[in-house]
Amino acid sequence: MRTLQGVRNLDKLLEFAPLLGRGVLVTVGVAVLALVLATALGALGAAAKLSRNLIFNWVAQVYTTIVRGVPDLVLILLIYFGGQRLLNTVVQSFDGGYVEISKFWAGVISIGFIYGAYLTETFRGAYMTVPKGQAEAAKSMGMRPLPVLWTVLLPQIMRFALPGYGNVWMVLVKSTAVVSVIGLEDLVGLADKAGKATRAPFLFFVAVILVYLAITWVSQLALKYADERANRGQTA
């Protein structure tokens, strides 16, 4: 009797498999776009923290402090519901129409916002690891500031930031799971709904766990490869 129930549940999982596949795409989509946003915010944040402008310092500080203080799920709920109110107020004051923050973009913005703060620290740390003499030497050879940054510093910052960057990606992917709480139909959201609707949540959640483990595993392989490539020619 029990095995029979197990087999029936497997049927349900197979029935929903194409839908869950779509959910995986949404999960990866949110994660990748959030990483892009986080990278941009991280670069801006690091630049602001390293700059001599006190206002920039302060803004970056407030940013990283808020992220450090508030749980991801709370921030997502705030951005999805409160952010819409804010946006409506702003748009209406411009006599505009209506612009919606969809669940997908609420997820991307929230997660990108959160991990941008972590990348701020990663990038700042990587910048400070590059020996000062290198920039000075490049300048003394008559290079202008932008080429110094672009051709001398950036390649090294990227190399030093790579382990931290990879780490943030791994955390970020798992963080996308909480976007399901605002009803996004990512892998977790769909598995949750389907599992509860079919009254067979166990198998659906086990499937989700396996997919995340696969994502983690592939990411680790890719990072290892990238790390080896970035450090080729370096003595250990």
Partner 1 sequence: MNFDLVFKHWDLFLGGVWVTLHLTVIALALGMLIALPASLSMARNTRFSPLARGYVYVFRGTPLLVQTYLIYYGLGQFELVRDSFAWPLLREAWWCAVIAFSLNSGAYTAEILRGAIKTTPKGEIEGAMALGLSGRQVTWLVLMPSAMRRALPQYGNEVVFMLHGTVVASVITIQDILGVGRTVNAKYYIAYEGFLSAAALYMIITFVVVRLFRLVEQRYLKHLNLENVSARKSDSETGEVPVAVPAMR
Partner 2 sequence: MKRPEFKKFALAAAFAAFATSAAADELNICVEGAYPPFSEINASGDVVGFDIDITNALCAEMGNSCKLVQSEWDGIIPALLEGKCDAIIASMSITEERKQRIDFSGKYYNSPGRFVAKQGHGLTDSPEGLAGKVIGLQRGTIFQDYMDGEMADVELKLYGTQDEVYLDLVAGRIDAAFADSIAISDGFLKTDQGKDFEFFGRDYSEEKYFGVGAGIGVRKGEEDLRDAFTAAIKTIRENGTYKSINDKYFEVDIYGG
Instruction: Give contact residues for partner 2 (rule: CB under 8 A).
Output: 15-16, 18-19, 22, 80-81, 84-85, 87-88, 91, 94-102, 105, 109, 181-183, 185, 190, 193-194, 196-197, 199, 201
Number of residues that bind partner 1 (CB under 8 A): 53
Instruction: Give the integer Cα–Cα distance in Å for 191 and 96.
Output: 38
Q: Which residues contact 186 (CB under 8 A, 6 or more apart)?
A: 23, 26, 27, 30, 107, 176, 177, 179, 180
Sign of torsion over alpha carbons 43, 67, 113, 178: positive
Q: Which of 30, 101, 122, 138 binds partner 1 (CB under 8 A)?
A: 122
Which residue lies nearer to partner 1 by CB, 148 or 186?
A: 186
The length of the chain is 236
Q: Which of 174, 223, 226, 230 binds partner 1 (CB under 8 A)?
A: 174
The amino acid occupying position 26 is: V
Q: Tell whether residue 88 is a contact of partner 1 (CB under 8 A).
A: no
Residue 69 binds partner 1, judged by CB under 8 A: yes
Number of Cβ atoms within 10 Å of the Cβ of 20: 17
Binding pattern for the stretch 177-206 against partner 1, x by CB under 8 A and - elsewhere: xx-xx------x---x--xx--xxxx--xx
Reading the block at residue 221, the tokens are: 């392989």
Q: Is 120 in the site for partner 1 (CB under 8 A)?
A: yes
- Compare residues 137 and 213 and give the one whose CB is closer to partner 1: 213
User: What does the alpha-carbon distance between residue 146 and residue 140 come to, in Å, rounded to a whole number?
Assistant: 14
Q: Least distance to partner 2 from the beta carbon of 94, Å?
A: 5
H or E element at residue 136: helix 132-140
Radius of gyration, alpha carbons of the chain: 22
User: What's the rounded Cα separation, in Å, for the pair 45 and 123?
Assistant: 9
CB under 5 to 8 A by kind: which of partner 2, partner 1, none does 190 bind? partner 2
Closest of 41, 32, 110, 26 to residue 74, by C-alpha? 110
160 binds, among partner 2, partner 1, none (CB under 5 to 8 A by kind): none
DSSP state of 148: I
Q: Indicate which single residue of 3, 4, 85, 233 sits in contact with partner 1 (rule: CB under 8 A).
A: 85
DSSP-assigned letter for residue 78: I
Q: By the criterion CB under 8 A, which residues form the site for partner 1?
A: 2, 61, 64-75, 77-78, 81-82, 84-85, 117-118, 120-122, 164, 167-168, 170-171, 174-178, 180-181, 188, 192, 195-196, 199-202, 205-206, 208-209, 212-213, 216-217
